[in-house]
Structure 1
Amino acid sequence: MMLSVSLCVWIVVAVTQTADSQEDENAPSVPTEAFPETEQPAMDGTEGDYFADFTCSDGFTKYSTQCLLYVPQAMSWNEAKENCRSMGSSLASAFSGFQASEVHHEMKRAGDTSGKVWVGGHKSPEDVNWSWDGVSYFNGVGDFCGEEPHENNCLEITADDDSACLGDTDCDTKLPSVCGTILM
């Protein structure tokens, strides 16, 4: 009887140790540096990335709040919107300064260091409130270049080497664009 109990205890210990070592082998590796320094806001799936399981469509770059794709072809705002929709996205959101900086970074990454690109902000001539293509839960905009404009109905980002800001432009103007998908 004593031999049976000893044998059972030994088997339980051996199985437990084997299971523990298998869990360790299958455990994900943890980076030694919790918040690696980066020179760009693009996300790489490291700790602190709340959307680590989210993957962007082919060609899009993952940032902290959205996946972005620079489109160099000059189009009107409506043509750019339809082009983004054909790829399953919308024109990029830039309703905060942080999102505008992500769009600016995507422009620079694509080689457009100073220029204008369409983003998703728009309004109708009858309504002075801005809304965003593909975003139904937020009305408002980030930082304008100078005072908030009112004469045009489509938003673009004007960028130079170091910064970017929003401006309104005639919707028929032909500009490159940035498509985006909000991470949720």
Structure 2
Amino acid sequence: MGLLQLLYILLSVCLVWCANCKDGYSSHGDYCYALLPLKASWAEAQQYCKALGASLAVIENNDERLFVEGMLKREHNNISTGQIWIGGTDLLQEGQWVAPETLEPLSYFNWATGEPDNLMGQHCLAIFNSADLKWDDNLCEVHNFALCKAEGSADISIVG
């Protein structure tokens, strides 16, 4: 994907998202959520979210998980990836999951059966794009869509 295409996508997202979660973006509590329409590695996805003044979505409790699941189910026809990146990694220490920006330990999980399994060195958190939307640790290099989250009152712009 060319730089101009990426900037166009980010600008398009910003033009909508900068308007306090209107026109296709979802708000829940004090936060805005957007599913970015491009596939990227986990680190790239985090950078794309950051360019919008956001971060990969850290899901902190059951209420937020249910909201995100509803949002993803509404977007299901637009998701052409097996998983969606969210905020969480155990790259620094296996089994110790932390938020991408703050490195604060995560305390809420919705793991699929048998996960996390660290298969072949999986260290990045994703949601399975399936009926149950359970969580998986995946290889960070895999290209998936990203779920971004920002404070609703944040100054969201494409300038990082």
What one-letter code is carried by the residue in structure 2 that aligns with 1:154? C
Q: CA RMSD in A?
A: 2.8
* TM-score normalised by L of structure 1: 0.60
In the superposition, relative to structure 1, how do residues 112 and 94 fare at CA in structure 2: closer, same or farther (>3 Å)? farther
Instruction: Identify unmatched segments of 5+ residues in structure 1.
Output: 1-54
**Aligned twin of 1:83:** 48
| 1:68 positional shift | 0.5
In the superposition, relative to structure 1, how do residues 147 and 70 fare at CA in structure 2: closer, same or farther (>3 Å)? same
Write the distance in 2 (CA, Å) between the matches of 1:56 and 1:90: 15
**Aligned twin of 1:130:** 97
**Aligned twin of 1:4:** none
* TM-score normalised by L of structure 2: 0.67
Write the distance in 2 (CA, Å) between the matches of 1:122 and 1:182: 21
Residues 74-153 of structure 1 correspond to what in structure 2 (within 5 A)?
Answer: 74-110=39-75, 111-112=77-78, 115-124=82-91, 126-135=93-102, 137-151=104-118, 152-153=122-123
Return structure 1 stretches of 4+ with deviation > 4 angstroms: 135-138
**Larger RCO (CA within 8 A; separation ≥ 6):** 2
